[in-house]
A and B are shown apart, each in its own frame.
Chain A
Amino acid sequence: MTNMHEKSISELAAGLRNGDYSSVELTRAYLARIERLDSGLNSYITVDAERALSQAGAADRMLRDGAASPLAGIPIAHKDIFCTQGVRTSCGSRMLDNFISPYDATVVTRFKEAGAVMLGKTNMDEFAMGSSNETSFYGPVRNPWDRARVPGGSSGGSAAAVAARLCAGATGTDTGGSIRQPAALCGISGLKPTYGRVSRYGMIAFASSLDQAGPMARSAEDAALMLGVMAGFDPRDSTSVHQPVPDYGAGLDGDIGGLRIGLPREFFAEGLDAKVAASIEAAIGEFRKLGAEVVEISLPNNHLSVPAYYVVAPAECSSNLARFDGVRFGHRCQGPKDLEDLYKRSRAEGFGMEVKRRILIGTYALSAGYFDAYYLKAQQIRQLIASDFRRAFEQVDLIAAPATPGMAFAIGEKIDDPVTMYLSDIYTIAVNLAGLPGMSIPVGPANGLPVGLQLIGNYFDEGRLLNAAHRFQQATDWHLAAPADID
């Protein structure tokens, strides 16, 4: 009973079905941990104990009636970018500090239908714009491995909450690395699915052509169970894809002998921290032992991914964030004297610096006279990057690479240097530009800090990613490492 929070989702599911504990007991245990530990981490923006316990009660009844989903009764957290009916959905912004969504995101609905319990909403970079969780209106999240360091971002709250065992699993979103980078920095398993695999409906848009929701969990197995709930076509999202959802759990144990893994040489060059490189190499060695064939490949246009991303993502964000105008919902300035004043002050007060920076960049990139040079050119680069991957997947089944160039950096270290901050996503961004699935699994810690190995798969090949990650985790125990002072 005392170590429920140490158990995986599949263990908890079994325990709930055995009657070892109820969902209400499990939920209380997690709520107590949040109460005790989260003030030092700030991983949650909103905790709704009452709602969580009521959902847990309902889940216990579902379990008695033989609920099928492995998520029934499991306490999870949602990144505060997902709209949750009746619960504040802030997106980490002052702009939406007062916004209580009248509807649920599809991802939220699916977890509800599966009987999962929502403990609360996790902290994040404002509107998912950031790589350190320092841009949140609700203050930075601290890395459970070292509270002076960032957890990564933008899904930093979800990553920290999972790493600190403040939920069994959490949802995240990934536009340029926002699941994989914090998963790497917090030592958890995070999967960004193929663009279109998970519905974006009700997920507050940052860059619509790149945003994708995914699971953040303690193991590939847990991530597989969560993805099974999240994935699938949604008639409310035109970009979600009609493609059957495989049983990700059933495919985890497949043999990976003969699996061809490609190492892109561009990802192991200058700029990669030596300790990270060593951890990655050790992990690759494990894959070799499991029978994988490892070959070097090239993704020659990867160096263009950060510049292309910082045109496309801000361009889309400048339009997506136009609806936050103080007219219908969200922050409205005091005593506007006319319409223009209402717009200007509401937006000036409601948005933080990084959001404003990206709106300005994006507005500029879409302006008459600059559109061809920036936006169209960036879209062409996306095609080049996608072709790089297409060629690579003719040779290999998976690509392995570091998820980040370094380990968790100190709070405050990069926040005043946007370009350096942007470069912390240099290994993850291309995957979003191409729309591919990517995953980060822990292969550290090294010197007390987590390291993430990134696995990249072909379109809709999440099953293979999860299979490889799971076999790796069966053979190693890096994913079991936990921060020292979380009990």
Chain B
Amino acid sequence: MQWETVIGLEIHAQLATKSKIFSGASTAFGAEPNTQACVVDLGLPGVLPVLNGEAVTMAVRFGTAIEAEIGRRSVFARKNYFYPDLPKGYQISQFESPIVGRGHVEILLEDGSAKLIGVTRAHLEEDAGKSLHEDFHGQTGIDLNRAGTPLLEIVSEPDMRSAKEAVAYARRIHQIVRYLGICDGNMQEGSFRCDANVSVRPMGQKAFGTRAELKNINSFRFLERAINFEVERQIDLIESGGKVVLETRLYDPNRDETRSMRSKEEANDYRYFPDPDLLPVELDEDFIAAITAGLPEMPDAKRHRFMKDYGLSAADAEALTAGRALADYYETVAKTSGDVRLAANWVMVELGAALNREGLDILDCPVKAESFGGLVARIKDDTISGKIAKQVFEAMWAGEGDADAIIEARGLRQITDSGAIEAAVDEVLATNPQQVENYRAADEAKRPKMLGFFVGQVMKRSQGKANPQQVNELLMAKLGG
């Protein structure tokens, strides 16, 4: 039987506010346990939550960026359950009236076509603390530093049909929150967490199959692997006569499998009700309009503009708009170099490789965009060849100055003086009479390859500085003669 996979994602993005969503305590990551938990975060008797307006602004920025309906009146509700790292015995979340309603994002499929993925809703809530099971000799330690950190839970429609689509969607959301500067996107530290609802159904069937919810996924790679594992597990199960049960499953990256954590039947009744300690959040049109007006250019718009203005392919535009900083970098390089295509190649290939090698973010790139543009400009105006440019780039990376300085200091300027190149060509022909004879005897098809030998010799003699095109032309003329 042909099976169709159906995936919906729940993404928890930690909002990059300085203080917590309902208290004034800091949200910084990595402090000593329980040093960033005030009386409100500890859920002491008598304390009350006060909403952090910055979290509301960030949520609305996200909502407007995905063209979602913004809740004019959203309501905080209590989700009641007992857990040691949940100090109040309930989590303040939003239930019936979320701050962000229906919206959508566009993903690019592998064939280059676009697909719209629906976002059902996004709501504000507080994070819980952490239970630490190691180092306590059979007991559990509780760290409440994270308790009360603002989260935006972004719930998608079950619109994805493969693990790859799910990853593309998750990456798109990740890109959007980073563009907006509302989340640092750090998956290792848990600032951006994905839970996947996965089910399968016979191809053509309308009704959804029973889903499993996959948790504990902390990278895009694991997201893809967890979904693929789960899809196979479900298909195998059904095909061997079993039934998928509604449950939560944990992904184990070490064993690359998912394991049942708890079935939904034994799950809590959360007894949601509106939190009487907080007033409904009422947003007026001016507030929303001001946020809409203040949005940066979003990835979709930027990608389309790059394709239109710079003539880039969809794939190149996608790569160069992956992050706002990279896109800005590219645009500066394109402008200072005067060659948008060459700039795109050099940013994606040489610069990308160097950043990867060093594990650096574009923001920490030691070569500023203007300098890199200067390097590309020297390739474009034939001052140096691409090959020499790589040397120059290495030197720039090492902090030896900008392209022109390095070219001058190292004497790397390309030789375009045809007299000098001709002299070098003549010398090479004179010292290799046998090869010249062979070349001339060879048929047309073999000659280009044989020409490479002479080009190499001339370039060697000029320490790589001879203009390759001139060398080619001169050699062809002299050998052909």
Interface residues of A (CB under 8 A from B): 82-83, 89, 91, 96, 99, 101-103, 105, 200-205, 207-209, 235-239, 315-316, 318-319, 321-325, 327-330, 339, 343, 363, 366-368, 371, 375
Distance of B154 from chain A, by nearest CB (Å): 25
Contacts of B278 in A (CB 8 A): 238-239
Cross-chain contact B90 with A322 (CB below 8 angstroms): yes
Q: Which residues of chain B have C-beta atoms less than 8 A from A96's C-beta?
A: 45
Across-interface contacts of A101 in B (CB, < 8 A): 44-46
What separation, in Å, do the CA atoms of A269 and B64 have in the docked complex? 58
A241 → B minimal CB distance (Å): 10
B45 touches A91 (CB 8 A): yes
- In the complex, the answer to whether A319 meets B271 with C-beta atoms within 8 Å is yes
Number of chain B interface residues as a range? 20 to 34
Do residues B276 and A208 form an inter-chain contact, with CB atoms below 8 A? yes
Known A-B contacts A238-B51, A238-B279, A315-B273; A322 and B80 likewise in contact (beta carbons under 8 Å): yes
Given contacts A105-B46, A239-B279, 8 further A-B contacts (CB under 8 A): A205-B277, A209-B276, A237-B50, A238-B279, A316-B273, A330-B45, A343-B82, A371-B273
The interface residues of chain A lying within 8 Å CB-to-CB of B44 are 83, 101-103, 328-329
Residue from B48, B87, B140, B272 in contact with A328 in the complex, judged by beta carbons closer than 8 Å = B87
Q: Does B43 interact with chain A (Cβ within 8 Å)? A: yes
Taking the closest CB of chain A, its distance from the CB of B266, in whole angstroms, is: 13
State how many angstroms separate the Cβ of B262 from the closest Cβ of chain A: 14
CA distance A367 to B80 in the complex (A): 10
Partner of A319, one of B42, B48, B49, B90: B90
In the bound assembly, the distance between CA atoms of A363 and B278 in angstroms comes to 21
B90: which A residues are within 8 A, CB to CB?
319, 322
Bound: A209/B82 CA distance, A: 22
Main secondary structure of the interface of B (DSSP, over half): loop
Distance to closest chain B CB from A276 (angstroms): 33
**Is there contact, CB below 8 Å, between A367 and B87?**
no
Q: Is B47 in contact with chain A by the CB < 8 A criterion? A: yes
How far, in angstroms, from A59 to B87 measured CA to CA in the complex?
38
- A330 to B46 CA separation, bound complex (whole angstroms): 13
Partner of B88 from A99, A322, A367, A371 at Cβ < 8 Å? A322
- Measured between alpha carbons, how far is A83 from B90 in the docked complex, in Å? 21
Which residue of chain B lies nearest to A329 when distances are taken between CB atoms in the complex? Answer: B44
Min distance, Cβ A226 to any Cβ of chain B, angstroms: 20
A205 near B82: Cβ-Cβ < 8 Å = no
Whether A201 lies near B47 (C-beta < 8 A) is yes
A22–B146 Cα distance when bound, in Å, is 50
Task: Please tell me if the beta carbons of B82 and A238 are within 8 angstroms of each other in the complex.
Answer: no
Say yes or no: B46 contacts A201, CB within 8 Å. Answer: yes
A-B residue pairs, 6 tightest by C-beta: A322-B89, A366-B271, A209-B276, A208-B276, A202-B46, A204-B45
Contact B50 A235 (CB under 8 A): yes
Q: Contact flags (1/0) for B393-410 with A, using CB distance below 8 Å?
A: 000000000000000000
Interface centre among B42, B45, B140 (most CB of A within 10 A): B45
Complex-state Cα separation, A266 to B46, whole angstroms = 36
B282 to chain A, nearest CB (A): 13
- Provide the bound-state CA to CA distance between A239 and B50, in Å: 9
Given known contacts A325-B89, A363-B271, A319 and B80 CB-to-CB distance under 8 angstroms: yes
Interfacial chain B residues near A327, Cβ < 8 Å:
84, 87, 142
Instruction: List B residues 151-202 near A (Cβ within 8 Å).
Output: none
- Chain A nearest Cβ from B321, distance in angstroms: 40
B225 CB–A CB distance under 8 Å: no
What are some 5 contacts across the A-B interface (CB < 8 A)?
A200-B48, A238-B279, A239-B278, A319-B89, A328-B44
Residue B473 at the chain A interface, CB threshold 8 Å? no
Which residues in B have their C-beta under 8 angstroms from that of A339?
A: 84, 140
Look across to chain A and name the residue whose beta carbon is closest to the beta carbon of B45: A204
Type the 1/0 row for B46-63, where 1 means its CB is closer than 8 Å to any CB of A.
Answer: 111111000000000000
A191 to B: closest C-beta gap in Å: 21
Residues of A within 8 Å of B39, CB to CB, are 102-103
Complex Cα gap A200–B276 (Å): 12
Contact B273 A202 (CB under 8 A): no
Is B269 in contact with chain A by the CB < 8 A criterion?
A: yes
Contacts of B43 in A (CB 8 A): 323, 328
Residues in B neighbouring A99, C-beta threshold 8 A: 45
* B78 at the A interface (CB under 8 A): yes
CB distance from A79 to the nearest CB of B (A): 12
Contact of A236 among B48, B84, B88, B89 (CB under 8 A): B48
Q: Mark B269-299, 1 if CB is under 8 A from A, else 0.
A: 1011100111100000000000000000000
In the bound complex, CA of A5 to CA of B141 (Å): 52
- Chain A hits for B89, CB < 8 A: 319, 321-323, 325
B45 A83 Cβ-Cβ under 8 A: yes
Bound Cα distance A268, B279 (Å)? 36
Chain A, residue nearest B24 (CB)? A236
